[in-house]
Chains A and B, each alone.
Chain A
Amino acid sequence: MSDDTTPRETDGGHATADLPATGDHVHESSHEHGLPPMESIRRWFVTTNHKDVGILYVVTALFFLVFGGVLALLIRVQLLEPGGTILTDAAYNQAVSSHGLLMVFWFLSPFAFGFANYVVPLQIGAKDLAFPRLNALSYWLYLFSGVLFGISFFQGGTFSGGWTMYAPLNVPIYMPNIGATTAILALLMFTASVTVGSVNFLTTIHRMRAPGLTLRRMPLFTWTILLTVWMMLFAFAALLAALIILSSDRILGTVYFAATDAGGSVLWAHLFWFFGHPEVYIVFFPALGAMAEIFQTFTGRRIVGRKWFIAAMVLVALQSFLVWMHHMFLTSINLPVKTLFMATTIGISLPFDLMVFALIYTTIKGRIRFKTPFLFAFGALALFILGGITGVFLGAVVLDFEFRGTYWVVAHFHYVMVGGVTGLVGAIYYWYPKMTGRMYDEFLGKVHFGMYFVGFNLVYFPMFLAWETPRRVFDYPAVFQPWHQLATAGAFLLGASFLVMFYNFYVSLVSGEEAAGDPWRYVTTAEWAVPSPPPLENYPGRPSYDGGSLQFLEDMGPRPSGIAAADGSGETRSDGGVAAVDGALTGESHEESHASIWPFGISVAGFLVLLGLSGLPSGATLYVTLTVAGFGLGLYTLVGMARESQTFHGPSGPFGESWPFARVENTKLGMWFFLASDVVLFGAFIGAYVFIRVAFGWSAWEIVPHDPIPGLMNTYILLTSSFAVVLAMVAAQKGSRNGLVVSLLVTLLLGVGFLGNKGIEWYELYHEGQWLSTSVETSTYFLTTGLHAAHVIVGLVIVCYMLVRAWGGAYLDDDRPVEYFGLYWHFVDIVWLFLFPLFYIL
């Protein structure tokens, strides 16, 4: 798996065509590339630097921890006695649901991604993420999705159907309040944030590693983040499909989940758990990576069986998509499927045994220092072991039958998930000195751990003892009361322990001892080789592992050959040559930019649109206005960001290790990652259609369009438009402005023709009384082809923008934007190639 086996097309000669050496590094310490100073509020709105964004993520996530934590305490108070009364029935359900949603989505992953943002580029030797503005966009989408979720409480109450959001309780007939819609849209916005983030991290980690840092040599924390974003890319696409369908059921009136005679209720369970099980690892893996780093540092040992540890994680990541029906053992799924999913579930538990043993054996011959980070990591391992053992109980289907819907499940997944939180709390102590440049107070840290560990076990262990309590119920059998009271006491202790942490961090920030670059000893990873906190450009030179260990090379002159000379090895690390082509093509050298307001603007726009959509069915002027204003602002900000692309420069090559994507430029690779997630989005839509149709009775199903000819016409139109885009690219390559403009214009006209044709078809169906909510047949037809049409519209907006620029002579010296747009457009074409037969012919 080493990079050395990758074909390299470059050589020293190619590489010398690199960016002309410039004096840009003179600026480095004198100004921050257009970024206001740290103290300025403005900086935090415009920053795209990975370290700033990392801090924003951590702080915001901690806010949502408090939010979700307060809800947890409300739940625990309600449970002090059977039939507690401080919350009404409806309020209790809202508290339970939003606690789960906030903790799983708005706290856990973003908290981990705060560290990922801060640490991963440092560990792999990159100056920033591949797409700094998209990174800021991920953050702002995340923040505003959280604000949207907060607003949902004030719109007649938020979503109250549990974090699993089972159907059909989630549709308006059973849950009519606007706030429930808003909560779902908030989650949809969060999903968008995650998708953008995964594309960014995938591109960064695959493409931008320092020379010599092959995948197998990568630090374990970075490994876990890499696997996490891989899982995110596909799992969240399935969730996105589920959420789009649900939003449509709530706003447009489609009847997917209400169509219970066509399996609508079970369809939700499939879509949700297809996402939901990988989500467990998405949440847990970063914690595991942090634990591995902390274990190695504080034991002073290298992890035992490192490559097996990595192999085990890869296996888990793959298998995580093949176990989802173990959440559905009591539904109507058949016995062979139960058997299969029991087997895969047990299969996926085994690699974890190996990881646990690897961590435990790492302590042997250690020189173990029980500092706060280690205490938390060690505690997390113990908790995870308990969570794992109790999970094996659930793998035995006969036991699962009885545990389903009880506190056994609640206790088990809190041991696993909050076990993960424990690891991440270790991570915040571990990296606090790096991120702030100050040491925290060790004594208070230990106090925090003591309260935390006792509190944790006090709240969750009694749940095993009172496991027969039905989940999400506050009127439980009285025999369990003592256990629930203990748990409530534990919850308050656990909550209070965080006050100690906040106090500790606050005081240390002001008056803590200054931290050295490496405050720990026995660390190995590159983030400790730079000052705490690191300077804006991260490294004093170009980091390289070519010499067998980390070195910073002179950052002058033609780089790749410089590297070869510096380490004196015969092996030429000239992958940089590829990236040099990137630089050469843009025809300019540039320093990196770090400031952009557009990610913030786009997120505000998205926020307004979704808030508007939530109340759109009510027809209220306020909501209509918000939607329209949001779309307007969205268009304005998107164009603004696109225009800024000509002057905004993220990290440019040459990069070191880029296996297995050495020959693919960052933006193109990012586009492909995005398209891969879109494959799953449409795949899940088509899967939903197939599932519903099978449940309904395949041949009893009525095809909505009366005859396939309009669909065939549209197939011709799209195929021709794809061809036109190909011609546009060829024209741009040949430097023909006219050819480019005409081809793009043809594409635009064909796209409009496609939509017009579709519009006529829809109009006629509408007048026959066939509309979104008519039947499950029309629902699937209109929504699936509608999602495709939305993709066409987005494509056409991009074509318009490119037309204007092409008219002005753009793209002739650099046709890559035309090429990348083509990738998207052809993908939309391919999707239609399947929708056409499925919805028009068969």
Chain B
Amino acid sequence: MNEQPKYTDFHPRWFRRRMSTYWWLKRWSYVMFILRELSSVFIAWSIVFLLLLTRAVSQGQEGYEQFLAWSKNPVVVGLNVISLLFVGFHAVTWFNLAPKAMVVRLRGRRVPALWIAGSNYAAWALVSALVAWLILGG
């Protein structure tokens, strides 16, 4: 809705409670909410990191080695570990959301949420295994 909610006008006696600065600590689900909002920073970082890697590769052997040396820096490693955790957290949120977003009916019955989430996790594992095989084995 684009308009300002109308109830705020002309009623000085209605008491509007303010959410305290620490409202998000009151409940586990609210903490998760704030963490998800915060994670965007780390997701952005992992994209920047990927772009830097691409640039380094395009600069040939020397550039790539410089990049590798720089990524060994404990600060960069730490940042990447945190980013990985956040990306994992996002993936889990996403897979738990999938059965809510996809309502699949088979022979008139709704397919149980567990199946949909399960098949998403299975696909995730499969793709990860494939990528790992490509990089490490292939």
Asked if A and B bind, the verdict is no
* Residues of A bordering B, CB below 8 Å: none
* Residues of B bordering A, CB below 8 Å: none
